[in-house]
Amino acid sequence: MWRLYRLLVGLITCHPIAKLGGYMVTFGTISAISYTGAIIFARADSAYAGIIFLLLVPSSFFGGLALIPLGIYLAFRKAYLQEPSLRNKPLGEILRRLSGEEDVRNRIIVFILFTIANVVLTLVIVMAGFEYMDSASFCGLLCHKVMEPEYVVYQRSPHARVVCVDCHIGPGASWFVRSKISGLRQVYAVMAGTYSRPIPTPVEHLRPSRETCEQCHWPDKFEGDKLKIITHYDTDRNNTKRYTALLLKIGGPDAVGTRKGGIHWHVSKGNRVVFISEKDERKDIPWMRLERESELPVEYRFTGTDISNQEAATALKRTMECVDCHNRPTHVYRTSDEELDSMLSLWPELQNVPYLKKASGEVLARRFDETSIQRKEVGRALLTWYSDRPEEKADPALLEKAAEQVQEIYSRNVWPRMNITWGTYDNHIGHSTDTHTAAGLGCLRCHGNNHVTAEGKAVRADCRLCHIILALDEEKPPLFDFMVHKEK
């Protein structure tokens, strides 16, 4: 052991390149310690410092480790040129000669300390690196331009505090390795500029969400009905507020306790809905089969498709799971209508700006390019709408606020650089209605009265299957008079 150390220390100092390697390892060591210290003690974690850390420290540390043997080899070449017979000596003898074994006592002590430090450090670097690569700021900002839309909308979602990897990778080593491999390919695509704009959805080979979402959500716990009150505003002068109230049958026994089933029935124990979709896009569904415990499977076909039994048997199938409905649990792009309704709910005073819903809707429907968005021309377009109509006498302070909000709404939903605009990404929760168009067919992909069994029985689609409509676009629904505080 002792002899081995003496040998190694000698070797590290046998050639300038090997020495440089030694310095680099030392540099990597010191910066890793100071960076880790900064995170732990000063909580100074920034995406950019992280990227520098990730690029600089490992390359210095591991690059240094690689330079050491190179230096040794160069030293060997030099010695060999002077003394060709060296080549025939046993390897041990050659190394001993290169290391200049005699005067290494002091160096050994230093070297032992370094070795211990290096082992610890390798661990720290690897762990800090992985930890950092798992952070949302890394995923969202390293590929800054590419994933900025996903990151921005994510930050406003219910899952803003859930790190990307919890859904995109989940626990376990094999998915971790897979993700790092596909990550490398993505980094290449970003550097080469060959990535798709917009980033395609659905995500290919996303880990089954039963293994990710179910880390936190427990599907069998769904029970009862959920009251959901949705507010909409008209495009009239008063931006009239209207209420829709739904009793959503999210699952388990319903409120009255008469039946079990409901929306989460598709993912509860004993039920499987298996389906085929065009190009795995999960939009057009020509065939599906319901498999329930202790019941015969039931097959449904889309009316008008002539998919044969053989084709159905061999086609790629998918078992319905969380993301087949919740495809936007966190990257929530909204329609301009939804955004404006939510703006007016959040700032009720804006309802006093005449025709605000209509004017903003018209502005948001226009196309603005990257530079006009940056120059805040969206907001300005709204101000122009009103300056062209002085008779409306809109309050300037309120208008200013509205312009700011409309600008914000546009810039977080429309990304010209990535070819993302209103409706680029469908949301499968719900369905478009004639009054308020949600993006995409949602539940009606299967519940649209178009999927029938051989006997002609369709997947149920009656309005009371999924919700009970307690109020529909009513100004003053008598039903919840007591809930809605009186407005002037």
The residue among 325 and 399 lying less far from ligand HEC, judged by its C-beta, is 325
Closest CA to 194 of 146, 150, 151: 146
**Between 87 and 460, CB nearer to ligand HEC:** 460
Minimum CB separation of residue 44 from ligand HEC in Å reads 21
Q: Which is nearer to ligand HEC, 6 or 445 (CB)?
A: 445
Q: Minimum Å distance from CB 24 to ligand HEC?
A: 32
In degrees, to the nearest 5, what angle opens at C-alpha 150 toward C-alphas 447 and 362? 75
Sole residue written with tokens 């993700």: 179
Nearer of residues 353 and 459 to ligand HEC, judged by Cβ: 459
Question: Which is nearer to ligand HEC, 356 or 459 (by Cβ)?
Answer: 459
| Residue 300, phi then psi, degrees to nearest 5 | -120, 140
* Structural contact between residues 21 and 64, judged by C-beta atoms closer than 8 angstroms: yes
Specify whether the CB–CB gap between 152 and 160 falls below 8 A. no
CB of 474 to ligand HEC, least distance (A): 11
* CB of 96 or CB of 283, closer to ligand HEC: 283
* Cα 477 from Cα 24, distance rounded (Å): 72
For the bound state, the minimum distance from the C-beta of residue 189 to ligand HEC, rounded and expressed in Å, comes to 12
Closer Cβ to ligand HEC, 94 or 452, answer by number: 452
Say how many Å lie between the first and final Cα of the chain, rounded.
87
* 131-148 core/surface letters (b: 16 or more CB in 10 A; e: else): ebbbbbbbbbbbbeebbe
Judge contact between 185 and 214, C-beta under 8 A. no
Q: Assign residue 376 a region (left: φ > 0; alpha: ψ between -120 and 50; beta: otherwise).
A: left
**Could you tell me the smallest distance in angstroms from the CB atom of residue 440 to ligand HEC?**
11
The CB-of-296 to ligand HEC minimum distance in angstroms stands at 14
CA distances for 145 relative to 47, 151, 179, 402, angstroms: 14, 10, 20, 28
Q: Nearer to ligand HEC by C-beta: 85 or 294?
A: 294
CB count in 10 Å sphere of residue 169: 20
CB 443 within 8 A of CB 466: yes
Task: Give the bridge partners for 302, in sequence order.
Answer: 451
- C-beta of 137: minimal distance to ligand HEC in Å? 8
**Closest of 241, 472, 481, 484 to residue 350, by C-alpha:** 241
| Shortest distance, position 92 Cβ to ligand HEC, whole Å | 52
CB of 69 to ligand HEC, least distance (A): 39
353 or 446: CB nearest ligand HEC: 446
Complete DSSP assignment for 439-481: SS-GGGGTSSS-EE-TT-PBPP--TTTTEEEEEEEESS-GGGT
Residue nearest to ligand HEC (CB): 261
Name the nearest CA neighbour of 336 among 404, 230, 407, 413.
413
Exposure class string for 209-232: b at 16+ Cβ within 10 A, else e: beebbeeeeebeebbbbbeeebeb
> Given phi > 0 = left and psi -120 to 50 = alpha, else beta, which region is 251?
left
Q: Which of 267, 298, 250 is nearest to 466 (CA)?
A: 250
User: Nearest distance from residue 221's CB to ligand HEC, in Å?
Assistant: 9
Which CB atom, from 95 or from 337, has the smaller least distance to ligand HEC?
337
Distance CA 376, CA 363 (A): 12
Minimum distance from CB of 200 to ligand HEC (Å)? 7
Q: Minimum distance between the CB of residue 286 and ligand HEC, rounded to whole angstroms?
A: 11
- Name the residue nearer to ligand HEC (CB basis): 148 or 395: 148
- How far apart, in whole angstroms, are the C-alpha atoms of residue 149 and residue 199? 10
* Closer CB to ligand HEC, 60 or 450, in the complex: 450
